[in-house]
């Protein structure tokens, strides 16, 4: 048989006649699109050709980010100016004005007002769109059917906040603690000074990964010069804030590093490589409050996927909204989450279905339904 032909068209492709000169093996199976949605056990299974699959869910965070920055924020700033202008002139209601009509005195109050509103709206908006996206993703089970010749395989599509993904992360973090728990390690926490970034949370989240990569490059060069290894794992997290300053730092990003095989990194070295904010160092050599730095950082990584308190939900929202890696590590430190593909497998279509008892039951139902989707056309009679 030839390869399966998939498409969204309902018109079936006609097979070659018996005597037209083409061999009989040139015929192929057809996807019966009239049965693309199957009802089984009061559950619906939907088969979607790859070219018709909705890819907006995968990049929803980038779409929301672009809308927030290009449309939402400019409109927010103009609304603040209109409100200040109406109060300035004792107008009873907000009226739309041209930007050139605003007096210069308004801008003295505008900066602080827009700073607070921008930061508050970022936290609220990111959490709102994240929860909306997650509810939509978790409402159905999604698979892809791949094949290699006569072999077929179902692979479940999961997001990084799925329970299955959480178990994969916990297993690797537990192995990391077991493997390196008794080694020397140094924990470094890097924060950003908000005054260096105009107290703008959006700006801080945009640049922190760039600055962290620059810091790591310079530190790696210094360690190599000293003949020391540079094995690390890091995670990004948002701050909870404290009540005495009205939680003004809530949502600010910071990064935790754990370097393996190092007893201590001098603070003046960290200061010279990280001039953008504050840093805190804990190591096994100095016996600071973090006695086991490896356990300390793995706790933060596993908490990102397992706890659902309000502070952690905000952390998940901001990491998702700005498309940041929840954690990163040096090459070959832990076993990869997914094996690299061979390139021999071809994806047929995406499958969406209502969740069943478990993944095994879902796969059985899908394989039962798959066979009814394909039919071999009868020979054409001349």
- pLDDT, one tens digit per residue, over 198-250 is 889 999 999 999 999 999 999 999 999 999 989 999 999 998 888 777 778 89
- pLDDT, one tens digit per residue, over 242-294 is 877 777 889 999 999 999 888 888 989 999 999 999 998 876 555 555 667 78
202: its two tokens: 């959006």
Same domain, 204 and 307: yes
Same domain, 257 and 182: yes
Determine, yes or no, domain membership for 118.
yes
Same domain, 123 and 170: no
Same domain, 126 and 199: no
Sign of CA dihedral 32, 139, 364, 2: positive
Determine, yes or no, domain membership for 357.
no
The parent domain of residue 70 ranges over 60-137
Residue 359: Cβ within 10 Å count: 15
Determine, yes or no, domain membership for 346.
no
Same domain, 170 and 317: yes
Same domain, 222 and 286: yes
What is the reported pLDDT for 45? 84
Determine, yes or no, domain membership for 72.
yes
Provide the domain count of the chain. Answer: 2
- pLDDT, one tens digit per residue, over 35-84 is 455 555 556 888 888 877 777 877 899 999 999 999 888 888 777 777 76
Tell me the Cα Rg of the chain.
28
Same domain, 301 and 193: yes
- Determine contact, residues 144/157, Cβ cutoff 8 Å: yes
What is the reported pLDDT for 40? 55
Same domain, 293 and 179: yes
Determine, yes or no, domain membership for 199.
yes
Sign of CA dihedral 230, 176, 258, 288: negative
* Confidence label for 132 from pLDDT (cuts 50, 70 and 90): very high
């Amino acid at each position: 048989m030839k390869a399966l032909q998939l498409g969204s068209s309902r018109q079936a492709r006609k097979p070659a006649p018996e005597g037209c000169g083409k061999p009989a093996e040139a015929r192929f199976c057809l996807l019966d699109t009239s049965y693309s949605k199957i009802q089984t056990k009061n559950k619906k299974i939907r088969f979607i050709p790859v070219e018709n699959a909705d890819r907006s869910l995968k990049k929803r965070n980038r779409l929301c980010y672009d809308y927030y920055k290009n449309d939402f924020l400019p409109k927010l700033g103009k609304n603040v100016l209109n409100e200040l202008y109406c109060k300035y002139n004792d107008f009873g209601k907000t009226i739309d004005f041209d930007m050139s009509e605003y007096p210069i005195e308004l801008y003295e109050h505008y900066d602080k007002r827009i700073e607070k509103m921008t930061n508050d709206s970022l936290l609220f908006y990111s959490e709102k769109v994240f929860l909306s996206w997650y509810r939509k993703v978790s409402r159905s089970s999604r698979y892809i059917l791949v094949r290699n010749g006569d072999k077929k395989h179902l692979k479940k599509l999961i997001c990084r906040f799925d329970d299955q993904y959480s178990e994969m992360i916990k297993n690797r973090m537990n192995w990391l603690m077991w493997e390196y728990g008794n080694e020397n390690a140094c924990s470094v926490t890097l924060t950003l000074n908000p005054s260096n970034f105009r107290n703008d949370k959006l700006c801080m989240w945009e640049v922190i990964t760039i600055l962290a990569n620059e810091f790591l490059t310079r530190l790696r060069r210094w360690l190599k010069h000293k003949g020391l290894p540079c094995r690390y794992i890091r995670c990004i997290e948002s701050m909870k804030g404290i009540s005495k300053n009205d939680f003004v730092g809530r949502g600010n990003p910071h990064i935790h590093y754990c370097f393996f095989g190092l007893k201590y990194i001098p603070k003046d070295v960290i200061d010279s490589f990280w001039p953008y904010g504050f840093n805190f160092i804990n190591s096994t050599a100095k016996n600071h409050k973090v006695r086991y730095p490896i356990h300390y950082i793995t706790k933060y990584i596993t908490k990102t996927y397992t706890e659902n308190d309000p502070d952690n939900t905000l952390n998940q929202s901001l990491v998702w909204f700005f498309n940041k890696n929840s954690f990163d590590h040096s090459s070959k430190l832990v076993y990869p989450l997914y094996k690299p593909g061979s390139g021999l497998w071809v994806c047929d279509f995406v499958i969406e279905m209502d969740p069943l008892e478990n993944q095994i039951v879902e796969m059985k139902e899908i394989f039962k339904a798959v066979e009814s989707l394909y039919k071999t056309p009868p020979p054409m009679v001349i």
